[in-house]
Structures are given as C-alpha cells and as structure tokens.
Structure 1
Amino acid sequence: MNKPLADRIRPKTLDDIVGQKHLIAPEKPLRKIIDSGDIPNLIFYGPSGVGKTTLATYIARKTNRTLKKLNGTTASTADIKEIVSQLNTFSGVNGILLYLDEIQYFNKKQQQTLLEYIENGSITLIASTTENPYFYVYNAILSRSTVFEFKPVTPDEVERAVYRACDFLAEESGIDIEMSEECAKKIATGCGGDVRKAMNAVELSVIATDEIDGKKVVRLETVEQLVQKSAVRYDREGDEHYDIISAYQKSMRGSDPDAALHYLARLLEAGDLPSACRRLMVCACEDVGLAYPQLLPIVKSCVDMAQAVGLPEARIPLADAVVMVCNAPKSNSAYMGINRALADIHTGNSGPVPRQLQNKHCDGEDNPNKGQFYLYPHDFPNHYVEQQYLPDALKDKKYYEYGKNKNEQAFKAYWDKIKGK
C-alpha cells in the first residue's frame, strides 16, 4: 500500500515547509538552532497537520545521531527500554535522537523512564503534542526542554502546498494534472489550516478525476465533494474548545456582535450547542447583570427555545440572544461582589451569625440577655430599618459596589435617600 501523499511529499529543506514562519523564517531562534546542528530537547505543540512531524523529520536528517520514532498512542515502556539498550552499541555510538509523537499519551511513569537519559544527553528528545504540554508533559521533562508552539497554516500558505502536491503527483504518475485557482483555494480554505488534510484532498481529487488524452483536469464539483468539512478546528477535549468558548464570551463582554456571532457559528458548526448555551447564560449574568437585569429571563427563554428545537434552527434564538447581550449595557458589580464574599469565606474570614438573624430558639438560663431582637423591616417606614446583618468580624465589610450604569445608579439614589445618606 502506498504511503499517503503527505508522507511522500515531505519537504527536503526548511524553505519548502509551509507555515510556521514565526519559528523557521531566517533569523528566527528555532531556525538558528536547527542550522547550528546542536539540537536540544524540543517539544512541538500545536494542532494536527501543521508541520510538527515534518520539521522533526527534517531535523533528524541534519543530525548524525540514530533516529528512533515512537508514537505515544501505541508505544510501551518496553519500547523505551529497547531504545535505551542500544545506547552502548555501535548504532547508538553518537547518541540517539528520539522522535516521540503524541507525548501526551505517555503516562508519568513512561515519561520518567526517559528522564535519566534525556538529562545526561544520551537521548535527544523531540516530542510533539496536540495538547497543551504544560498540562500533559511531566514537569521534569518540560524543564529540560524548549517548547515551540505551532500555528494553523494560513490558506495562502496551504495553497502553495496544493500546487506543489499537484506537480509532485504529475511527476510521479507521468500524467499532466491541471488544478484551477478556484479548486486550489477551495482545498486551501476547507482544510482548516491542516496541510495533511489538504494533501489528502488533492490526492483524492486527482484520483477521482478521469484521464483524458494523458491529462487530468480537476473540477470544482469534484473538490467540493471530497474536501472534508474541517474549516473550523474544534476538539471538545482540547485547547481549541476552551479558546473558542473563551473568545465567544469575551466578544460578548466586549460588545462586539460580529465577533460573538462568528464564535457562536464555530460552536454550532461543531455541534456544541451545550457550550454555546451555557456561556451565553453565564455572560448575561456576569457581564450584563444589574445594568439590564430584564435581559436575564430573555436569554434563558432563548436558550430554552434553542434546546427545544435543536440544531440547525437553534442558531436563530441564540443569535438573537447573543446580539442582545452584546448591545446591552454592562455591569459586573454583582459578580465582583460574590467573588469578594467567597474570598473571605475561603480564607476563613467569617464568624457566627448575629443573634438577631438566627433562627428562633430557646435561650438557656445562663443567657442574661434573652430574646431575638430582630427588627422586622416591614414594620418601619419605607420598609427599612438599620440593623447589623454581617457577622461581628465583618460588620463594616463592603462587597457590593454600585455600577456606574443608569439602572444601578437609580437603585443607589433610592437607597441613599431612604438611608439618609
């Protein structure tokens, strides 16, 4: 069985690698490290198909060390021990370069097995991961490695790879292959920054195109049928999930309806209706809050409708609610207030409930000051009477501060008048 095109066409030079110019452009630190030939332990972090394996393979070709490859999804401790056993043999005389793909699937014990040999330089580790290494890689390995983050490849860069793939396939097959600019752009934009997916789409499009007089002309309808629905990267368990929902809420908080709708669309396209609804309700409470409290039941109603009708129609009430949240005045006064109160609770800064607020119960004979002494506010003018509600240790504490919005300032003016301030 032939290797996938992405493996057959791996770049031979750094300049052939598409994307990652922030890492491998001339004068960039990683480029200089690679050119020096003195390779430290490296961790490549980023989404799939953006050049991590390609760059690691290129680095391996520039070193005189024996190259060994492991994949964290299938490798075992025995595989590591097998590599270690070669260190004192002829094949490992110059040391071993270990490329460990998907290191996040190695457990702590497996990673610790490598530690001694990484530390003394017997093994040079180049590891790749699609997950945040600061969460999944053992700290001792992290401290002995340099982390470089890879980014999704831009459509313009992917398009360059598409044309290169067509030329490669034409040379490989001896058949003239014509790929229009429209087709190339469709593949480049439809792969979601994943060059491997783009290469697969190119190869499948060429295979699915009939040869006429020694030539294949790839048509747009063929490409459209074969390009995977992957323009939006999303992994409910990975960093992309948290990045997108974070951007979604921050866009609503920042009153940018265009950005908020964009991230809502990405969530819905990925089928993640629960996250879209949950963050919308959180934002309405946290970021709009008391500036426009009437919005809270409106947002809840929109979420209920979205969950009742399901996708794709759920996009309509959710879009209504998102735009309303963006355009609503903002206040986080209640949110900040509860955070301040919780901070006191977490640090043990509390105390007994004041006597007048306690549930009624019988006083013992040893209590010289019997009685509840609670003042019922409705028995007083304007339904207000001054009395202590916080515990003695916190009696002068202020958690809530009125927001500057019209709504809360109206509340403040009312209570300042009632309380005689």
Structure 2
Amino acid sequence: MDLFEARRRELLRTQSPLAERMRPQSLEEFVGQDHLTGPRALLRRLIERDQLRSLILWGPPGSGKTTLARIIARTTRAHFVALSAVTAGVADLRREAAEARERLGMHGQRTIVFIDEIHRLNRAQQDAILPYVEDGSIILIGATTENPSFTVNAPLLSRARVIVLEPLSDDALRVIIQRALTDPDRGLGSLGLQLDPEAGDLLIRLANGDARFALNTLELAALGATGSMITTQDIREAAMRRAAVYDRAGDAHYDTISALHKSIRGSDPDAALYWLARMVENGDDPLYIARRLIRMASEDIGLADPAALLIAVGAYHAVQMVGLPEAALALAEVAVYLALAPKSNALYRAYTAAQQDVLEAPNDPVPLYLRNAPTRLMRELGYGRDYRYAHDEPDAIGIQEYLPPRLQGRRYYQPTDRGTEKHLAQRLAQILARRAQAQPRRDQEEER
C-alpha cells in the first residue's frame, strides 16, 4: 500500500459518516440480533467455524446486514468479494464466479461473494450466478430490504438460507448511541458531549429501529450543538423527519393494508384509524386505500349494511375531487364506519362458491326458456318458450328454475342474522317456501 492509499484510508476513517466509522468490527461488537449472533446462535457458530453456506440477509435499513457481511469477511479464511447489484452487470458476476472456480481448483480456497441490494439483480443476472452457487464454486451472501420470496429467483432462493434481521430494539439503539458518544477514536468521545436523556429517547423513537439513521442524526446534532449537552431541539433539527421504514411498493405496504383490513373486519375503529394514518402519512396512494376500503365493504360487511358500499364509493370520489390532505378525513370516516358496521361475509362466500362452479363444473347452455327471442328463427327454435313472467306470479316470486339443470338446488347465498341481512334472510325464506309450494305444479307441467 503506497503513501497516497494510506492517506486516503486515513481520511476515510476520520471523515466518513459516524455510522460508517462506528460499524462493528467483530461479532462481539455486533449489537441487536442476538437470535443470529448470540453466543449459542447457529449462524455465529457457522461463522466462527468458517463453515458458512449461501445466505440471503433480509431486514430493514440499518439493521446490520452489510455490517454482518463485513464481519464475515474478516472472520473467514475464504476470499471475499463485495459487489453492488446497482453497478454489477452479468459480465462482472460471471468474471468473479469464474475466478472463484479457478481459485478453488488451484488453491483450494473458497470464495464468498457479497451482493448488496440483491433484489435489484434482474433475472438474467441471477441466472448468471446460479450454476456457481449450485456447484459450490461460490458462497453467496445477498443483502436485501425486500421480501426475497418476490425478488429472488426460486432456484437461487432454494440454494440459500434466508436469514431475517429484525429492526433494532430500543435497548440495542441505546447501546449503539452511547458507544458512539464515548468512543474517542471512531466516535464523538473527543468532543466531550453529553446527550440529554429526553433527547436520547426522542432519537430512539425517530430512529425507528435504524442504527444508521440514529448515528448520522446524532453526529449532525453534535456538530450543531451550542453547548456540551445535546438537546431535544438539536435532535429535532438534525433529524428533520423520522427514519422511514415504510416501502410503498414492498412488504410494509402490504403488511399495513392487511392490518387495516383485519382491524376493520375485527370491528376495531381505533386500530383502523391508526393503520390508515400509517399508510396516509407514509405517502401511500390514497386512491389505492379507497379501492381497498370498497373491497372491505363488500367482503366483510356486504348486505348486512348495504350503505357501507355507498359510503366507501363516496370516499373514493372524495379523494378524486379534493386529494390529500383534505381527503384523509373522508378515508377516516369510511374506515370508522366500516369498523362499526355489522359484519357478514355471506356475500363473499356466495360469490366464491358460484365462482368455483363456473370454473370447475361444466358450463351447460342457458336453458331455452331463459333466453330472449328477438327474431323469428329464435322463437321457432324454442327460445323463451314456457318462460313464466315473475310479475304475474303471487307476490311476484318466480317459481321456475333459473340455474342450469346440473346445478339446480344450489344455495350459494346464505344470509346471516346480522343487520339488514336479517331481513333479507326472512325474505329469502319466504321465496324458498313459495317455490317449494309450487314444486308439484312444476313437476306436472314438465310431465306434460
């Protein structure tokens, strides 16, 4: 290493962001993922024994994925190669994999290839390294914030173990922050600053489990502090906005809409408001939220309260007309209404059963008497013949069979006794009784 390279590294060490300078160098320094790196954890034993196999490290930003990969690089006797999915092409991946195969054959040394943001590799790039992972030429370690079930090819995923990193706990963040404050070489210890306890609590809340955000915010607050104490105001000014762990196109988006849906289904208006606010305030598409609320009105309330669908559709139009932030209250209104409305999934179950018959049972022709006959030929062929006009029947209840012959007798819709559906159940019972009374007459007519 020449003099210029040594100076470059020294400048990086002293002038890099605090989060980079304080990155743990060993498993002993690694904080917050005890289920993976604790004294008895399997992953730790594999790292220490240098018996690692291909891994996908999946976790939110600032949870330690890249740090863990670098610790592995320092611990293993294998050759370590770090690539970024943003800049690496197919040619780069194949070159590194070919060199790894040659290294293994000539020197018996394994190669670990670390790919940061592996979810950004396209199918061709993932396919390029698959043969080398499969035959053991390389040990792949991928890091991703995205659900690998959706972003990593199934063949590659089946050859790697997914390791889940959790957001860092408050206690873990507290240890990391205190270490940075007191470390005189890599941290802020030489500045002689203290962190007000309330400011520390605020920083932890804003960090939201993200160590990188916590450390970089702490560094900016320290540089801007006017005294020896870092205050809550210093933290607020440095943070500007809390760390975002919400990905509007990823797992957080789908997990949160699931929580909103289940809260409404469970008749909890407070939880519904909270999850709704999480989506709105994190920038989710309000029209998407409105569409999902319409679905909830049909799926979980249905005819127990027919007004629910109208109110949900009204909220959708309100969002179209006024947008956010004004339309947030319209979304809140429908969320609370849906949560408190009587619940019924009878309509959902009825449609699902009918759908199953359509997809799995033979689709018999429409019975002739149910077909329109706008032309002479169609009338001569029997279209519309023997059709009974329901309004000419007692109580305007049709007594014919309206399903195809093989499906006659099916009962898809079975209303509950909740809300408006209770009255619909009574009406349906009246209709079925009337048809049962007319059955002997229908049988006689069919015999004739």
Q: CA deviation at 1:318?
A: 2.1
Once residues 281 and 214 of structure 2 are traced to their aligned partners in structure 1, the CA distance between those partners, rounded to angstroms, is 20
**Does 1:109 find its partner at 2:124?**
yes
In the alignment, what sits opposite 1:164? 179
Stretch moving more, 131-140 or 26-35: 26-35
Deviations 1:182-203 (A, max 9, x none): 1112111112222111111111
Which shifted more, 183-192 or 367-376? 367-376
Give secondary structure in 1 for the equivalent of 2:99: coil
Does 2:52 match 1:39? Answer: yes
Q: Deviations over 1:33-70 (max 9, x none)?
A: 33332101111112221111111111221100111100
| Partner residue, 2:4 | none
1:150 to 142, 160, 165: 165
Change (3 A) 1:167 1:320: same
Query: Offset of 1:169 from its aligned partner?
Result: 6.0
| 1:109-258 superposed matches below 5 A | 109-168=124-183, 172=187, 174-210=190-226, 216-231=228-243, 233-258=245-270
Deviation at 1:401, TM superposition (A): 1.5
CA offset at residue 85 of structure 1? 4.3
| Contact map agreement 1:163 1:184 (CA 8 A) in 2 | no
Give, as a single letter, the amino acid of the residue that structure 1 aligns with 2:255: D
Is it true that 1:48 corresponds to 2:52 in the alignment? no
Give the Cα–Cα distance (whole angstroms) in 2 for the partners of residues 371 and 141 of structure 1. Answer: 60
Q: Is the contact between residue 78 and residue 112 of structure 2 (CA under 8 Å) also seen in structure 1? A: yes
Alpha-carbon deviation of 1:180?
1.2
Name which of 70, 75, 83 aligns with 1:70.
83
Displacement of 1:231 in angstroms is 4.8
8 Å CA contact 1:190–1:228 kept in 2: the answer is no
- Offset, 1:232: 5.1
1:148-193 residue CA offsets vs partner (Å, 9 max, x unmatched): 1122222332222122222236765622011111111211111222
Q: Does residue 7 in structure 1 map to residue 20 in structure 2? A: yes
Residue of structure 2 aligned with 1:269, choices 274, 281, 286: 281
Give TM-score, length-normalised by structure 2: 0.86
CA gap of 1:3–1:326, structure 2 versus 1, over 3 A, is same
* Greater mean deviation of Cα atoms: 357-366 or 369-378: 357-366
Asked if 2 retains the 8 angstrom alpha-carbon contact of 1:208 and 1:222, the reply is yes
Change (3 A) 1:102 1:232: closer
Instruction: Kindly indicate whether the alpha-carbon contact (under 8 Å) linking 1:382 and 1:418 is maintained by their aligned counterparts in 2.
Output: no
Deviation at 1:15, TM superposition (A): 4.3
Trace 1:318-357 onto structure 2 (pairs within 5 A).
Answer: 318-347=331-360, 349-357=362-370
Unpaired segments ≥5 residues, structure 1: none
Cα deviation for residue 127 of structure 1 reads 0.8
Deviation of the 1:285 alpha carbon: 1.5
CA spacing shift, 1:359–1:170, aligned 2, 3 Å? same
Q: Mean alpha-carbon deviation: is it higher for 264-273 or for 339-348?
A: 339-348
Shift of the alpha carbon at 1:370? 7.0
Q: 1:369 to 1:96 in 2, by over 3 A?
A: closer
1:295 correspondence with 2:311: no
Q: CA deviation at 1:351?
A: 1.5
Once residues 335 and 430 of structure 2 are traced to their aligned partners in structure 1, the CA distance between those partners, rounded to angstroms, is 37
For 2:53 and 2:384, how far apart are their aligned partners in 1? 75
Is the Cα contact below 8 Å between 2:112 and 2:139 reproduced in 1? yes
Residue 67 of structure 1 aligns to a residue in which SS? strand
State the secondary structure of the residue aligned to 2:193.
Answer: strand
Question: Sequence identity, in percent?
Answer: 36
Q: How does 1:262-411 map to 2 (within 5 A)?
A: 262-272=274-284, 273-347=286-360, 349-362=362-375, 364=377, 372-411=385-424
More moved, 233-242 vs 147-156? 147-156
Deviates more, 1:91-100 or 1:258-267: 91-100
Residue 43 of structure 2 corresponds to residue 30 of structure 1:
yes
Aligned residues of 1:86 and 1:92 also touching (Cα < 8 A): no
Per the alignment, residue 21 of structure 1 pairs with 34
Q: Is the 8 A contact 1:232 1:266 kept in 2?
A: no
Distance 1:269 1:369, change over 3 A: closer
Distance verdict in 2 for CA 1:35–1:257, change over 3 Å: farther
Distance across 2 between alignment mates of 1:225 and 1:308: 35
Distance 2:186 2:424 in 1: 76
Q: Matches of 1:224 and 1:248 in 2, distance apart?
A: 30
The code of the aligned residue for 2:204 comes to A
* Equivalent residue pairs, number: 417
1:234 positional shift: 1.5
Mapped partners of 2:302, 2:42: distance in 1: 47
1:192-235, Cα deviation, whole Å (9 max, x unpaired): 2221111111111112224x5xxx32121121022142355211
8 Å CA contact 2:22, 2:180 repeated in 1: yes
Asked if 2 retains the 8 angstrom alpha-carbon contact of 1:363 and 1:370, the reply is no
Q: Aligned in 2, Cα 1:270/1:64: closer, same or farther, shift over 3 Å? A: same
Task: Calculate the aligned-residue CA RMSD, in Å.
Answer: 2.5
Contact 1:101-1:127 within 8 A present in 2 as well: yes
Take 1:387 and 1:31, find their aligned partners in 2: how far apart are those partners? 72
Shift of 1:363: 5.6
Q: When the two structures are superposed, what TM-score results if normalisation uses the length of structure 1?
A: 0.91
Q: Secondary structure at the match of 1:94?
A: coil
User: Which residue pairs with 1:86 in the alignment?
Assistant: 99
